[in-house]
Amino acid sequence: MGLLVSSMRMHEIEPDRYIYDPLYGIIHLPQYIWNVLSCPELQRLREVRLCNINSLCLTGGANINRFEHSIGTCHLALECLANWPPLNPLDERTQRQFILAALLHDIVNGPFGHSIEYIESKKGFDPEEAFKYVVLGTPDQSYEYWRAQLEPIFFSLQKDLVRRLPMEDIEAIGKIIGGKGRLGQLINGNMDLDNIDNVFRLAYHIGIVRSGEVPLNLARSLFVERGKVVVKEKGVTQIQEWFNIRKKLYSFLLLNPEEFSAKCMLSEAVELAKLKPGFALTWHDTDYDLLVRLLNASPIRLEERGYLFAIDTTLENELSCGILSDKLKSVLEQKGLRLSSDAQLELVNGGWKIIDKAKDRTKCYVIEKKEQKLKVYMKVLRSVDVREIIMNLVKGDLYGCVGIFSTAKTEKDTVFDDPNLRRELENGVSETVGRAFQGRFRSVSIAFHLIKDMNKTERQVAIEMDNGEIATIGTSSKRYLIGAFFRNPQLNIHHVNDEPRIVGKIRKEIMTYLSTCLEDPAIEEVGLYGEAK
């Protein structure tokens, strides 16, 4: 047993004071943990969900907060040290910094966790690298996330950790949270105490597991030797259990259509709100704070375009005449683009514009010469109300899920990571579907949302055992999941399957479109709700 843990149990742990954890039962904490527990930076996590969305279907996991998870991870770290091999000792200060890192590892997480982190990471924000920056309020050249040193962070309270922890500890804790140093891999590694608690806590609340025995035994089996995480031989079966539970849990979190749709709506609302001057995210927002600010965002007017199809370059002669000839109209109609007799062709910079006011005054078509092809695009002017998206989100009137698709073409993420490129793709497929179907499907608006399933539903672990052998468990997932959704209220999650035959055809149309766009003939359709079977 480590020297510090023995010392804490004799002198620092208050025997009567405890936290009753749903997964582990009674948790006693050392005095130096109680000393920082009331810091606003940590208490804010009571209002930030562990899930990345307020789940409509996974109700047991919808309202677990990151404070509960932080206490759980801290407890696993204490159990890990209490069972540390005596021949591989840690000094008292290192142990204390490790326990504090386990407790504080999530304080930089923004509202709705990874859902917002994915958006902000495109601007350079990395919560696992920003601990010192947030605690001290010092400037960061790569990302402006904390804009004022005395900015209130929780119920108008100022930051307090900097007053309660010495600078040496803050520096060391930040490195451990970032996965650096001797013990960093135990907090931020391929299989770490953070993820072990995260997986089993969510699985417990959702109803997948019934006790915290496995994570406790696994934490007691881990230690670091010669710069590598090592597991005691008896802990290998717990790693296999962690892998199995993790796979089942992440299948629910990533593949459930309602869960996927809600993430799509929240991400879209945030991206749109950020287009308005003056709107900025701050790390200290709680989930509720962010929703309120999104509800106050004004409508946004967007001019967007979407790629439709290419036509023969020999038609450039027809276009150069500046008249919408019968030949050109016939070619466009063969592609599904039917124009009225009043449609007009205009010369614009770098191409031609077709205006058909008799059809839709908010829409026009543009023909441009690109890559030795004549490409036809749709341009549309639309108004988007962020408030409406959020109101529907909190009511559970989610976008209707058309389909979820899996692709191994992970190098194509730019198409989805760049909001402008993704909206161009969305508009193109919306127009294509609209031209192919009639009735209420004639004016569909398709939204896409990307989830990067990289080591999520499956994560291979190759870890050294204390007998010197290597235990390799599982495989690693490496795919992108693309969710396609109807934005139209009459096709929301409650009505999307009113006409399943037509929706099935639209699903195939979208999969064909994505296959062409991603140059992936092997793209697969994921069976909806298959994660529960």
| pLDDT at residue 149, as a whole number | 46
Rounded to an integer, what distance in angstroms lies between the CA atom of residue 504 and that of residue 340? 30
Rounded to an integer, what distance in angstroms lies between the CA atom of residue 507 and that of residue 76? 45
Mind listing the pLDDT tens digit for each residue in 337-376?
Answer: 889 888 999 988 889 999 988 777 788 999 999 888 899 9
Q: Catalogue the long-range contacts made by 183-188 (C-beta closer than 8 Å, 24 or more residues apart).
A: 183/90, 183/94, 183/98, 183/101, 183/224, 185/224, 185/228, 185/229, 186/77, 186/80, 186/98, 186/222, 186/224, 186/229, 187/73, 187/77, 187/98, 187/101, 187/102, 187/105, 188/105, 188/128
The SS3 call for residue 413 is coil
Rounded to an integer, what distance in angstroms lies between the CA atom of residue 25 and that of residue 7? 23
Place of tokens 């402008």: 420
Q: Give the residue-averaged pLDDT of 112-135.
A: 79
Distance, first Cα to last Cα, the chain: 44
Element (H, E) at 391: helix 386-395
Instruction: List phi, psi (to 5°) of 250.
Output: -70, -25
| pLDDT at residue 49, as a whole number | 94
Mind listing the pLDDT tens digit for each residue in 267-319?
Answer: 999 999 999 888 877 778 899 999 999 999 989 988 888 888 999 998 988 89
| pLDDT confidence band for 199 (50 / 70 / 90) | very high
Q: Give the residue-averaged pLDDT of 409-424.
A: 90
| pLDDT confidence band for 12 (50 / 70 / 90) | low
Q: Which residue has the higher pLDDT, 202 or 132?
A: 202
Closest CA to 29 of 65, 66, 73, 64: 73
Per the prediction, the chain carries an average pLDDT of 90
- Look up the pTM and report it: 0.89
- pLDDT for 157 beyond 50: yes
- pLDDT for 3 beyond 50: no
Going through 167-284 in order, the beta strands assigned E by DSSP cover 222-225, 228-231
Strands 373-384 and 400-407 come out as unpaired
| pLDDT at residue 381, as a whole number | 87
Q: Give the residue-averaged pLDDT of 19-45.
A: 95
Beta bridge partners of 229: 224
| pLDDT at residue 151, as a whole number | 60
Largest CA distance in the chain: 92
